[in-house]
Chains A and B, each alone.
Chain A
Amino acid sequence: MIDNVAWIGTNWTYFRVCESSNMNKLSSDTNRWLLRPDVVATIVNDGAVILDLRTKFFFSANSTGWAIAQMFETGATRAEVHAASSKWGAVNGDAVTIDAVIDQLIAEKLVEATTGTGAGMSAVTVAAWTLPTLNKHKEPLQRIMTSAFDPGLPLAE
């Protein structure tokens, strides 16, 4: 975690700690994760918007964040995501950010552990590698609506 190592000071130390942290995650998290079926996504410009139909929260992902999320459509392990990211152009120092995106997908319960095997992962491609981002939008959509056309509650007149 960046917060834990910031006081250490040097870039060299920072990356060593990150790599160490990453190795711990890779060795401790061997789960295969699958995007929940009630999570929908749509490609927008160079990334995607992801909507969790259970919580009604939605997320914006850049192109590489979306590529990572896409890997979970057919199921992927953390190690497989890191391996794919390397092929897409990620370097060692990017591992913390990649893990942060995976951690967020898990923490938000957008993915769930599965026992299946990964399939079709090679279909995910990235044109140019950038650090992946996944931003949760602050306001969820309505869970209870007024009508199937007008979701909002009317104001008193």
Chain B
Amino acid sequence: MISDVATPAASEVWYSCGPVGLSLVYDDPVLQQALHGLLSQYDAPWPENKINIRVIVSSKQPPVSQPPGAGTYLSLTRLKADRRGSRLVSCGNLGTFMEYDMAAAEARMTVPENPDWPLLVEEVEHHFIMLLARAWGQAGWTPLHGGTLIAPGSSRCVILCAPSGVGKTTLTAAMLRRGWRTLGDDKTLLQKEGNQVIGRSLAHRFHLHPNSSRWFPEAGDITKWPTYSRWTDKRVVRIEKLWPGCLAERAIPGAVVQLLRDENGPALAIQPLSREATLNTLLLQVAIPSDAEHARPLFSCIASLAANIRGAVFKIGNEAFADPTTAERIETEFKKLLS
């Protein structure tokens, strides 16, 4: 059990994050407000929270004296995580610390003062993402950093894989205008269900770049939506406000597309992916920890998916969507992949 270190004045808030519920106890309302953007984004409806975790976030307590993290579980640019029995311990570069007792479903986080407040908040966000990723795994789901596009009149979807900034959201928006639906633009949970893998929606808010208005005028002035991060101009957009009926809760992946941006190439170039490259593409979008017990189900889910779907590389040129026929060609190729 993790001892309760919150002050008597602490406030408690609750978030539903897909199959995981978080009950958060804060002693700092400013930090609580700062983290609301991250924790409220997992807004897709779920039938139940299979796991409920109580998290105590202390920023007015003295920092816990801990040995530096070694990153034997996960090594992130901002923090290092190690597993100690039933506990997952993560230490951030700025001295933030989280201990998640997986057996007791309790976590404790300490946040020391730091003059760079935005950087401090981002580091705390990474602790929460780590906590959630593990909790989703405990609930039987594999978090995939990828978007999805569901063919009209079908339950089968294409998974879009690409690093942030390549254009998953823009491509998704281009297809939503053509009647496709989506589970989300970059966050999907996967689970093996019998002989197939299914995908479920986690977040219904998109991170859309204001430039998208040039190609999708019905989106209006995207700069009116709230900002997402200090590192990008993207805005947090409630996508159904722009394209009503475009959201879905569940789909069956039938293809994976590795999206690349080709600055000097044609609007669209397509190459098939080998089975090996399909697996690689999917695995590169999943944070697989170095702990065998925790890695095994994630790896198994992705390998099973890769074995049963087609893959292709789509290279998208600059200003590709200025030409309406690009989206039409992409739609035709997506349908071929899903057939």
Contact = CB atoms under 8 A, between A and B. Distances in A.
B165 A156 contact: yes
A53 interface: yes
A137 B287 CA distance: 18
**Majority DSSP secondary structure for residues of A touching B:** loop
A49 B295 CA distance: 13
Contacts of A156: 165
**Majority DSSP secondary structure for residues of B touching A:** mixed
B133 A148 contact: yes
A38 B283 CA distance: 17
Contacts of B296: 40, 42
B290 A148 contact: no
Interface string A66-80: 000000000000000
A145 B77 contact: yes
Nearest to A143: B75
Contact of B74 (A148, A150, A157): A148
A53 B295 CA distance: 8
A149 B133 contact: yes
Contacts of B143: 148-149
Contacts of A141: 283-284, 288
B126 interface: yes
Given A53-B295, A157-B209, A152 B303 contact: no
Interface string A42-63: 1011000101011000101000
Interface in A27-49: 37-40, 42, 44-45, 49
Contacts of B279: 49, 58, 60, 137
B232 A157 contact: yes
A154 B283 contact: no
Contact of B129 (A40, A42, A143, A149): A149
A135 interface: yes
B42 to A, nearest CB: 11
B77 A151 contact: no
Contacts of B287: 142, 145, 147-151
A49 B300 CA distance: 9
Interface residues of B, number: 47
Given A44-B303, A135-B276, A150 B292 contact: no
Contact of A154 (B75, B164, B291): B164
A148 B164 contact: no
B130 A148 contact: yes
Contacts of A154: 163-165, 231-232
A151 B284 contact: yes
B187 to A, nearest CB: 7
Contact of A144 (B75, B283, B300): B75
B165 A157 contact: yes
B290 A54 contact: yes
Contacts of A54: 290
A42 to B, nearest CB: 4
Contacts of B133: 148-149
B5 interface: no
Contact of A152 (B145, B234, B276): B145
Contact of A42 (B232, B276, B289, B304): B304
A25 to B, nearest CB: 29
Interface string A116-157: 000000000000000000010101011111111111111111
A142 B304 contact: no
Given A53-B292, A148-B287, A155 B76 contact: no
Contacts of A51: 288, 295, 299
B7 interface: no
Contacts of A53: 288-292, 295
Contact of B165 (A44, A137, A147, A155): A155
Given A53-B288, A137-B276, 14 more contacts: A44-B304, A53-B289, A53-B295, A58-B279, A144-B77, A147-B130, A147-B287, A148-B132, A148-B143, A149-B143, A151-B284, A154-B164, A154-B165, A155-B261
